[in-house]
Amino acid sequence: MGGPGGPNGGGYGYPQPGATQAPPGPGGFPQQPPRPQGPATWTATIGPDREYFMAMMQRSGPEAAGLNLPAYSPEQQRTLTGNQITIGRRRHSTGDTPDIDLSTPPEDPGVSHQHAVLVQQPDGSWAVVDQNSTNGTTVNGSDEPIQPFVPVPLQDGDRVHVGAWTTITIRRG
């Protein structure tokens, strides 16, 4: 008879002959297969950076003497979506506005209109590409600007420096 506890086994939680079952996990319950993970969410935090500003002032010529770090400039947070995020200042003559617009008060005067681009990589991570900006783009406090038009891969926590005081911190999660 084929009922519970019958000659074919089965019933009452016993596996049928030939049935496969996941190995027990914690507490003796069958483990669930891992859920597929979607692409990671990346964010950018944009704001003034006193340490970067002081380093820029030491490297700059007399034209920088009149610059002051803004007393108040709230950090901006943005989720990185799409294939690329443009960084720069709005061009008033044409109305062109980059995705990360650094022309809002207090405007960073060292940022070019088309300064840099964050570009999504095939694995979902991001890279920064300087767009041949006037003052260059640096990463993680380096003294040397990155090469124009050459993608520089970014890791979780990397800091992209543009203009006189702006740092964009890239976070995964």
In the prediction, which pLDDT does 26 show? 55
Mean pLDDT, rounded, for 2-8: 49
Residue 3, in any domain of the structure: no
Residue 123, in any domain of the structure: yes
pTM over 0.85? The answer is no
Confidence of residue 60 (pLDDT cuts 50, 70, 90): confident
> The domain containing residue 162 runs over which residues?
42-62+77-172
In the prediction, which pLDDT does 116 show? 98
Whether 133 has a pLDDT exceeding 80, the answer reads yes
In the prediction, which pLDDT does 12 show? 47
Confidence of residue 123 (pLDDT cuts 50, 70, 90): very high
Confidence of residue 31 (pLDDT cuts 50, 70, 90): low
Considering its fold, how many domains does the chain have in total?
1
Residue 5, in any domain of the structure: no
Whether 30 has a pLDDT exceeding 70, the answer reads no
In the prediction, which pLDDT does 39 show? 63
Residue 28, in any domain of the structure: no
Residue 17, in any domain of the structure: no
Mean pLDDT, rounded, for 90-111: 88
Closest C-alpha among 69, 109, 108, 111 to residue 87: 111
In the prediction, which pLDDT does 126 show? 97
Residue 25, in any domain of the structure: no
Residue 148, in any domain of the structure: yes
Whether 155 has a pLDDT exceeding 90, the answer reads yes
Convert the pLDDT of each residue in 67-95 to its tens digit. Answer: 888 877 788 899 999 999 999 999 878 88
In the prediction, which pLDDT does 40 show? 79
d(CA 69, CA 48): 8
In the prediction, which pLDDT does 14 show? 47
Residue 166, in any domain of the structure: yes
Domain CATH for 136:
2.60.200.20
In the prediction, which pLDDT does 145 show? 95
Q: pLDDT averaged over the chain?
A: 82
